[in-house]
């Protein structure tokens, strides 16, 4: 299956053809952006997963007599996470699952990829994997609780779920909530990227926004989750600075630059590889005025290039183990 068969073009960007829920592109430019974002995740979290999980991950990836451990990455995107995990653990098998075919990925023999749509359920994957990882997926679902329930069900009894996601809130340099800019008003102290995030939330959450804390609550009330093993349901929050090093953020200089590039300002072969550009086709298809959208983009770029507004974007990683029945 080539790109033309598995993608549809919407306002110049390739979107998946399997469902209308996921609003971002799935073309090669977006995969490049996600690969860059993967680097940011690793710096922010301290590796492919939080260091506190090192021992439990090592135990789960230890081969047992007659069987090899299995790891699933739901929403594997660019393939960066699952490929690096497979390279580091040749005695386990790794599966990347996504809406589109992964192109140009140099995967080791113990890593494969499957095309599918989790919103239809994953009956063949239920209780089949020692570790299940999902990143920047649940936040795009119309029903995050149902999606998280499906994903958690893929974990074997005694296995581990690692659930990571971004956040559509924006915080100032003191980590206080930033107000969104308003068209036609004096926006001193307000944030245009926060405005963009609010508009984007309307695209992916037509019935109202879900917070990360809501999603953590979904896991805590799932009877299949062990409330004690590996600390129970553990939620970790990280603050990524945008275009500045942040205060006390390890690797802050690199993270700050990656975040700026990821959001606004990398151009390769005349194609913008940035989050705001990835959102534009959905805005335009929903009837937003093109001139207004372009003005917002310019306001965000000016905001990030200027010295006045320094802010953070939060990211989250939650882990939980499945109860041994």
Please report, for the chain, the start and end positions of each structural domain, with discontinuous segments joined by +.
8-322
Which of 14-23, 51-60, 205-214, 222-231 has the largest mean confidence? 51-60
Q: Name the percent of the chain lying above pLDDT 90.
A: 63
pLDDT at 22 over 80: no
Identify the H or E element spanning 14: strand 13-16
pLDDT recorded at residue 2: 40
pLDDT recorded at residue 296: 92
Three-state SS letters, 128-151:
CEEEEEEECCHHHCCCHHHHHHHH
Question: Is there a contact between 132 and 74 (Cβ–Cβ < 8 Å)?
Answer: yes
First and final C-alpha spacing in the chain? 41
pLDDT digits (tens, 9 = 90+) for 239-279: 999 989 999 999 999 999 999 888 875 444 344 457 888 88
pLDDT recorded at residue 314: 95
In the predicted model, what is the mean pLDDT of residues 114-140? Answer: 94
With residues binned 3-state (H G I as helix, E B as strand, rest as coil), the percentages for the chain, rounded to 5, are: 40, 25, 40
Q: How confident is the model at residue 26 (pLDDT cuts 50, 70, 90)?
A: confident
Structure tokens at 179: 């107000």
Classify residue 272 as exposed, middle or buried by CB count within 10 Å of its CB (0-12, 13-18, 19+). middle
Q: How confident is the model at residue 189 (pLDDT cuts 50, 70, 90)?
A: confident
The CA distance from 20 to 15, in Å, is 9
In the predicted model, what is the mean pLDDT of residues 197-210? Answer: 83
The CA distance from 149 to 157, in Å, is 14
pLDDT digits (tens, 9 = 90+) for 78-100: 999 999 999 999 999 999 999 98
For 155-175, b/e burial (b = at least 16 CB within 10 A) is bbeebbbbbbbbbbbbbbeee
CATH 3.40.50.150 holds for 8-322: yes
pLDDT at 137 over 90: yes
pLDDT at 4 over 80: no
């Amino acid at each position: 299956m080539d790109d033309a068969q598995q993608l549809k073009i919407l306002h110049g960007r390739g979107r998946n053809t399997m469902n209308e829920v996921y609003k971002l592109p799935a073309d090669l430019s977006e995969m490049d952006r996600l690969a860059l974002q993967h680097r940011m995740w690793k710096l922010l979290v301290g590796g492919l997963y939080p260091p506190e999980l090192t021992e439990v991950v090592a135990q789960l990836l230890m081969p047992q007599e007659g069987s090899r451990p299995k790891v699933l990455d739901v929403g594997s995107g660019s393939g960066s996470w699952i490929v690096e995990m497979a390279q580091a653990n040749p005695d386990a098998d790794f599966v990347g699952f996504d809406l589109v075919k992964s192109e140009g990925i140099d995967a080791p023999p113990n890593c494969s990829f499957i095309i599918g749509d989790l919103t239809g359920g994953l009956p063949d994957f239920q209780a089949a994997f020692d570790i299940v990882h999902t990143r920047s997926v649940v936040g795009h679902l119309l029903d995050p609780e149902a999606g998280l329930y499906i994903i958690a069900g893929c974990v074997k009894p005694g296995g581990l779920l690692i659930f990571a996601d971004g956040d559509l809130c924006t915080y100032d340099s003191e980590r206080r909530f930033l107000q969104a800019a308003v068209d036609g008003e004096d926006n001193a102290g307000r944030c245009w990227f926060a405005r963009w995030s609010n508009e984007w939330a309307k695209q992916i959450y037509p019935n109202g926004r879900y917070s990360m804390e809501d999603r953590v609550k979904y896991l805590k009330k799932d009877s299949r989750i062990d409330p004690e093993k590996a600390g129970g349901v553990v939620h970790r929050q990280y603050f990524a600075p945008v275009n500045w090093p942040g205060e006390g953020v390890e690797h802050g200089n690199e993270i700050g630059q990656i975040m700026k590039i990821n959001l606004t300002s990398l151009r390769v072969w005349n194609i913008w590889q940035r989050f705001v550009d990835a959102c534009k086709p959905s805005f335009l298809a929903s009837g937003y005025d093109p001139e207004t959208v372009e003005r917002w983009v310019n306001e965000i770029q000016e905001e990030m290039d200027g010295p006045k507004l320094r802010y953070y974007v939060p990211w989250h990683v939650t882990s939980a183990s499945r109860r041994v029945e």
